[in-house]
Amino acid sequence: MTETKEIRGLKALAKRYARANRIAQHQALDLIAGELGFPHWTKLIAASKNGWQIDTEQMAGVEAFFKRALPATTFRNGDPEAMNRRFAYLEQAEHGMIGDHAYRLQEVFHDVIIAGEGWSIRVPENPGVPPIVETFADQEAECPVFDPEFLQTALSLARDRALQVRAGIATDWPRRSTKPDLSGVVRHPLSGSESDVWFCLHCDEKITGTQIALNLWHCPGCGASPLDIFDTPFWSDDDGKSFRPVKTDGAVDRDEPDFRIVDDRPKPNLNEEKIILLIRCALLDDATNISERLGALRAEISVDDDGVWIALEDDLWPEGKDPVQALAVADRLGLEVELESCWSTIPFAWPGLGEIASNTSEYTQMMLDAYAQCGGSPDPKPKES
């Protein structure tokens, strides 16, 4: 009997689904049969031979079902009913509500983040890493993630999206990268090399092909990315003989999240660059004319453990004039100030012009006129250095 177009379509759907979820194709076929009311694929085919046909509505339902990514461990553990519990939150995405609390759901570099006011949960790309729950220090007492029911709902949303993200990754990789053969040989998704034993550049541990495929090519020991997984330990002096097998319980999407309190309150972080910026800004406050502003801009300022050192040019900053505002800023920062006068080549001749000009535009014109009177070109075009 010739296969119908619908049966061929179901097989193609099962093939894509098996690849995305890193399961055997016969398992995906049985899932399709289950969605259509048959105990397994063989019964569906038998019914098809006896005249049963899938209608348009049923096909649409199957296609919608198979767009949802599911954890491969569910199939390996022989508990297909557990899959259905994953679907409750799948249709809620991007923005939504959990009780009275709003959330946003997004993917960032293959990590999935769900966050709301005062909290966030990150489900990493690495299936072997527990979710990371962060709460802000000043909102810890009333943060909703401390409610177990709220936390489980939020985790379900994030984990379901993470399954979709990982399914996309697995679909882009070669089939052999996520499905070991009978000998445990897998293909590296980036380099294309094949082996049943792999080595981590970071933790110097030995990983089986089954372990690395199950963990989406992240080291089960230290979490290193696929870029740091190799089929030969080329950095080892003894060809990896001293490397120990990685210890892992094979857990994927562990239930217990990692709680972290984050202090997100703004801090000044007053490093040398920021202190110099404040002192220079204060010098501009002290300047009363164009010459002094140029002096503030060209002042040499340095910061060390002993305080602030300020060197002002004699030709631009009046002798004996204290930079009152700069001294006040340094005092607020708890820094001692050492003032010095210095001499260097000033940017323009006749610095006194800046003392009588009312603004920078007027000063520029006065300076150009003065150069022109001395035979210098008033052309303000920049010269090549």
Contact (Cβ atoms closer than 8 angstroms) between residue 177 and residue 183? no
| Inter-CA distances, 274 with 11, 302, 335, Å | 64, 11, 14
| Inter-CA distances, 271 with 250, 276, 302, 338, Å | 45, 9, 11, 19
Range with the poorest average pLDDT among 55-64, 81-90, 237-246: 81-90
Residue 74 is which amino acid?
A: T
pLDDT in tens, 164-204: 889 888 888 988 898 899 999 999 998 899 999 999 988 88
If one compares 282 and 160, the residue with the highest pLDDT of the two is 282
Q: If you average pLDDT over residues 364-381, what whole number do you get?
A: 80
pTM for this structure? 0.53
Of the candidates 28, 60, 56, the residue with the CA atom closest to the CA atom of residue 44: 28
Q: How confident is the model at residue 94 (pLDDT cuts 50, 70, 90)?
A: confident
Q: If you average pLDDT over residues 117-137, what whole number do you get?
A: 88
| Tokens describing residue 229 | 């997984």
